[in-house]
Amino acid sequence: AKKIAVLTSGGDAPGMNAAVRAVVRTAISFGMEVYGVRHGYNGLLTGEVQKMELRSVSNIIQHGGTALFTARSPEFNTPEGVQKAAAKCRELGIDGVVVVGGDGSFRGARDLTGAGVPCIGVPGTIDNDISSSEYTIGYDTAMNTAMEMIDRIRDTTESHDRCSVVEVMGRRCGDIALNTGIAVGAIATLVPEVKYDFEKDIIERIRYAQKTGKRHFIVVVAEGVGHSEDICKRIQEETGIESRATILGHVQRGGSPTLRDRVVASQMGYHAVELLRDGKSNRVVVMQGERIVDFDITEALEMPRVFDEKLYKISQDLSR
């Protein structure tokens, strides 16, 4: 490819800017022209496309969100929309697109490749819910934010001998909950991948810890389990411990990306442009065993998600 474009799509994530910066500067290093598309696939439909230079991506690596903006585009999600986007690319002479986003965005990238525009996906989502990759850009920042917020909740929970039920993000993926649960010393961590028994997995744990002298408790609930208000109410009813529910929500999506997110985003953005330079298309850049590699998008979308059972066991055995 000689003239490529980059866009961010779906839910934003800290580190997306570092990925865009890497794509722009790598492309320029390789002697390609590079364009930035605003508002995800929508920008391809409306022509919000701008030529990027080295300085176009100045001062963004440390910022959360996405300087290219993002969108969910119902129009692109139709065969006519995909054809229209492909026509726009041809009109501009764009012969490669890097899409930073989640599974939905990769389905779009697969369709756009099918319409004749070679696409490469880069996983950007805080949820770590992309089965082909062990890591997604934004995940580390989101977990660290959740951990810091729960540490603060813990201070006040401890002062009042309370129980706090904290719901963290992750959609149907329990990775954020599992890791933050371990990091904050939660008495119980509920994830969508493991069915839980209210008495055995929450109440009995709290009662046992109470007997050994523990007086304050944190329960971490994954978004995919939900019902944190109800869980909180039931804990108070059954144990008599004053309980409070907090849904952390979008604070987890923002903020300055951690070192890990900036570095992985830089590596993945670089790899994506290498693939386009080498004439590859319909690939997704992923992390496997700490290495940056790539898979066919269609195959990647069909891979089953692997839940870390050992880490879950560790969280169970340490929270007592």
Query: Exposed, middle or buried, 59 (CB in 10 Å: 0-12/13-18/19+)?
Result: exposed
For residue 103, state whether it binds ligand ADP (rule: CB under 6 A): yes
* Minimum CB distance to ligand ADP smaller for 7 or for 187: 7
- Distance (Å) of CA 316 to CA 25, 146, 194, 202: 45, 19, 12, 11
* Minimum CB distance to ligand ADP smaller for 35 or for 41: 41
For residue 104, state whether it binds ligand ADP (rule: CB under 6 A): yes
For residue 8, state whether it binds ligand ADP (rule: CB under 6 A): no
For residue 84, state whether it binds ligand ADP (rule: CB under 6 A): no
* Minimum CB distance to ligand ADP smaller for 68 or for 186: 68
* Minimum CB distance to ligand ADP smaller for 33 or for 75: 75
- Distance (Å) of CA 164 to CA 235, 301, 312: 10, 37, 20
Applying CB under 6 A, the span of 70-78, 188-196, 233-241, 251-259 interacting with ligand ADP comes to 70-78
For residue 175, state whether it binds ligand ADP (rule: CB under 6 A): no
Question: What does the block give as tokens for 162?
Answer: 């309370």
* Minimum CB distance to ligand ADP smaller for 9 or for 243: 9
* Minimum CB distance to ligand ADP smaller for 183 or for 301: 301
For residue 252, state whether it binds ligand ADP (rule: CB under 6 A): no
For residue 102, state whether it binds ligand ADP (rule: CB under 6 A): yes
Amino acid (1-letter code) at residue 137: I
For residue 105, state whether it binds ligand ADP (rule: CB under 6 A): yes
Residue choice 5, 6, 8, 9 for contact with ligand ADP (CB under 6 A): 9
Least distance CB 13 / ligand ADP (angstroms): 9
What are the phi and psi torsion angles at 308 (to 5°)?
A: -80, 90
Query: How many residues line the site for ligand ADP (CB under 6 A)?
Result: 17
Residue of 12, 127, 140, 261 with catalytic role: 127
| Residue 296 falls in the annotated catalytic set | no
Residue choice 1, 11, 95, 268 for contact with ligand ADP (CB under 6 A): 11
Residue choice 125, 128, 164, 189 for contact with ligand ADP (CB under 6 A): 125
Applying CB under 6 A, the span of 68-76, 154-162, 266-274, 285-293 interacting with ligand ADP comes to 68-76
Residue choice 8, 17, 26, 73 for contact with ligand ADP (CB under 6 A): 73
Q: How many CB atoms lie within 10 A of CB 54?
A: 12
For residue 10, state whether it binds ligand ADP (rule: CB under 6 A): yes
CA angle 90, 97, 112 (to 5 degrees): 70
For residue 139, state whether it binds ligand ADP (rule: CB under 6 A): no
Least distance CB 157 / ligand ADP (angstroms): 33
Q: Which residues of the shown chain bind ligand ADP in the complex (CB under 6 A)?
A: 9-11, 41, 72-73, 76-77, 101-105, 107-108, 111, 125
Catalytic residues: 127
